[in-house]
A = this chain, B = another copy of it.
């Protein structure tokens, strides 16, 4: 099924210390460097040396609940990526920012900056923020419901898209002789008036190298899919099984096609958290070793956030109280709820078993195996309509990523699935995405 020349996209998703919730307690980790920018710069440089498409940072504008026992500080992604942009030249830089808790004019400026500074490597992971605690940091009486957040996100995206288009590409003239600095006929007020926003524009800077940052999206709920099919150019998604990933992939590509989009312009990238060993037994032992560092209080808090249920009074090793799971409750609309409910149905774990299952990467696909087994799995998903690439989520950092680059990437290259060097310079180049023309330039040309 491989199309000639079709290439995997591979991102490094960076969590401080690693994606396993106990990674920071692992002997090879460096928990004191969680706020040391050089730690992240070094990781990004290694990802760039391996010609990965991008690095990726998550975010939420509030203190994580489990900070007492979990290495979950949240630095601000755009500034962090900007400092990384300054010491790299090719790798894409994808940062998460919320449509619910930022202002569109300010967000548009930040990502335009990142795209200018990086010479066209910015990506924006568009989220509506799932953590209800954020509302209290922004004066809202309560966190808006899921559907309302998506409704607002659609308008937010409309506003920032117009702001990023507000300077046509050739608006900067800078002609000393005539004294004309810009061609103001090519700089446009957006005059947006909507339900949530009134924004005049334009931005105070010329259009950035990619025109707009790459639009990334990570929600897999019904609202999330509908939003992604229309707007996303790359989608991060969580799947535990091949059939689940295939169904999601087919659904999104079909929705996109129905909207007139080309399927290859929507890159679907499931998360993959690989424990890698020279033998299967070694990989399993490594996973066990890190699982043994789990602190149940952290895991139970995570489970409470996903399922809306407090399990702290339950026996970790008794039968799992399945009857408590309520898909019609307030958490039921979220894709992560469904994913965990599916694991419970399919595998019937104990509470401790479920905790260990989720500790690796918060519901993402965790796979322990040899480099060949990891590469085989990647190839299978890639060639059977489940993935256009992966968001690589090393269980611990930096070593968990280093071994992926040293052992798995070369296999993928030998199989012709992954580039040996960058062909272009922008994130759009790496993902094979077109550079959008300014909507105002298109309108002006059509009316001419």
A76 is an interface residue with CB less than 8 A from chain B: yes
Contact call A79/B113, Cβ cutoff below 8 A = yes
Contact call B205/A35, Cβ cutoff below 8 A = yes
Chain B residue with the shortest CB-CB distance to A86: B86
Cβ contact of A179, chosen from B82, B87, B181, B295, cutoff 8 A: B295
State the number of copies, please: 2
Contact call B63/A202, Cβ cutoff below 8 A = yes
Contact call A114/B67, Cβ cutoff below 8 A = no
Cβ contact of A61, chosen from B41, B75, B86, B109, cutoff 8 A: B109
Chain B residue with the shortest CB-CB distance to A102: B106
Q: How far is the CA of A79 from the CA of B76 in the complex (A)?
A: 11
Stretch touching chain B among A24-32, A260-268, A391-399: A24-32
A136 is an interface residue with CB less than 8 A from chain B: yes
A103 is an interface residue with CB less than 8 A from chain B: yes
Tally A residues with Cβ within 8 Å of B: 71
A138 is an interface residue with CB less than 8 A from chain B: yes
Cβ contact of A181, chosen from B68, B78, B137, cutoff 8 A: B68
Residues on the B chain within 8 Å of A101, using CB? 103, 105-106
Cβ contact of A82, chosen from B83, B102, B182, cutoff 8 A: B83
Residues on the B chain within 8 Å of A201, using CB? 63, 137
Instruction: Digitize A402-428: 1 where CB-to-B-CB distance is under 8 Å, 0 elsewhere.
Output: 000000000000000000000000000
> Measuring CB to CB, which residues of chain A are less than 8 angstroms from any residue of chain B?
24-25, 27, 31-32, 34-35, 37, 41, 60-64, 67-76, 78-80, 82-87, 101-103, 105-106, 109-110, 112-114, 116-117, 133, 136-139, 172, 174, 176, 179-182, 184, 187, 197-206, 293, 295
Pull 7 A–B residue pairs with CB atoms less than 8 Å apart, ordered by A. A63-B202, A63-B203, A73-B205, A82-B83, A101-B103, A139-B199, A179-B293
